[in-house]
Each structure stands twice: as C-alpha cells, then as structure tokens.
Amino acid sequence: MAIVLAAAIPGCYYAGFYYYSANGGGSEAAIGEEHQMDFPEADAFVLTQDALHGAGVLFEVKPQESLVTLWQKADNAPGFFAGLAGVQPRYRYEIQAVSEGSTKSKIVVNVRAEDVPDKDLPLYKASTRLDLFNKIDQVAALTPPPSKLPRTGGVNFALLPSEDLRGLAKRTTGNADNWRQIAKDNGLSSPNDVTPLQTIWVSDSLLGSAPKQSRPSDSPGQ
C-alpha cells in the first residue's frame, strides 16, 4: 500500500507541473478599462507613454499605437501546484490608443495576470494600481488640445475689431447668411460666439461663391 501511495503522489506533482508548463506559466485572466481623450490617437498614445515614464513603468512599444508593460511580480502568494512548479504570480498591462474621430480617442488598458485569483484582478487594474488615467490627464493638462480648425481646403481669416461671423461671412464670401456654415465648420454656435481677433476658417467652397471685386479696368467707360 505504501508503494502505491508513493507512486500516486509523484504522479500528482508531475501532472501539476505539466499543466503550468504547458500553459506558459499558469492560469491566466484579464480585465479591461477605457479612458476618453480629447486628443487624436497618436497624441494620446504619446501622452500615455509619458505618464508611464513618469510612474517608472517599463514597457515595449508595439505596432498600431499599442504597448505592453514588462511583467511585474504580483502580491499574491502562489497556489499549491504553482508553488511546486516554481511559478510566481505576475501581471502586466496591454495598452492601446484607439481613434474615435479626428480629435478624439480612447485609451484601452487590459491588465493580464497569471496565477492571480479572479477576485483579486480588480486590485491590479491600471486605474487602481497606477492611478494611470489621472496621471495621463495631468500630463495632458500641460499639453493644450490641438486646434479643431480644418487644416486644408480653406483659408484662415482673423476677425476685424468688433466683427462677428455675419460680418466675416459678408466680407469673405459676399453673403452674410454663410455665417451658419462658417460657425459649423469652426465649432461655434452663434454669430457672436467669437473673441476679438479670433482666427476663423472659411472653406474654399464658400470663398468660391464670393462675387469678384471690380477693378478700375473693369469699370464702364474705361
């Protein structure tokens, strides 16, 4: 009986070791979070890297505005079979910036853990463990959002003193009613929603509708 028992115990040990080896180190689980940013994805990705650098977190940059941090030792003690196999619970973050328009994006952060109980996963979330999203916002606060004005297909005009969008539309397009489209293109809500000497973008399509100014050589009798 003693011989059979001795044979059974090593068999259990071997099975546990095989399970952990075959699965790259042990049981694996992940949990994700998202954070909205008023920056294009490329800018948001750089801000995230700056925040990680500031927190002393090492990482590897991957394609498609993504990165993975290096594995970190978890607080949890290894389970019975993991301990026998010499496996140490660990975790890392998989982070990607995802575009949500020309001037908006979101940061998606997955924490991936090995040999950490499911009930303990929330303790390793980036927002909890690193206060990452607050750190990103602090870095972003030092970096003004990029201008929302279109960069091509039009002309930037400086408002004249006391000029509103109606006046600008009349001056640049020949039709004061074009202020509505100009306001929409510039993210404004009314003809008076401007500041002195503000720069306003006017599309080429509106400029093309402006009547040509007569020149002295075009006047009758010349």
Mean pLDDT of the chain: 78
Q: What is the average per-residue pLDDT within 166-183?
A: 94
Q: For 57, phi and psi rounded to 5 degrees?
A: -95, 125
What does the pLDDT look like over 72-101, one tens digit per residue?
999 877 654 455 555 689 999 999 999 987
What are the CA-CA distances from residue 76 to residues 20, 56, 71, 88 (Å)? 17, 22, 14, 9
Mean pLDDT is highest, among 28-32, 91-95, 182-186, 198-202, for 91-95
Looking at per-residue pLDDT, the higher value among 25 and 215 belongs to 25
Percent of the chain with pLDDT over 90: 46
Region class of 68: left (phi > 0), else alpha (psi between -120 and 50), else beta: beta
Any idea where the domains of the chain sit in the sequence? 25-141, 154-211
Contacts of 50 (CB under 8 A, 6+ apart): 139
Predicted model pTM = 0.56
According to CATH, what is the number of the domain 154-211?
3.10.350
For the domain made up of 25-141, the CATH class stated in words is alpha beta
What does the pLDDT look like over 107-130, one tens digit per residue?
999 999 988 888 999 999 999 999
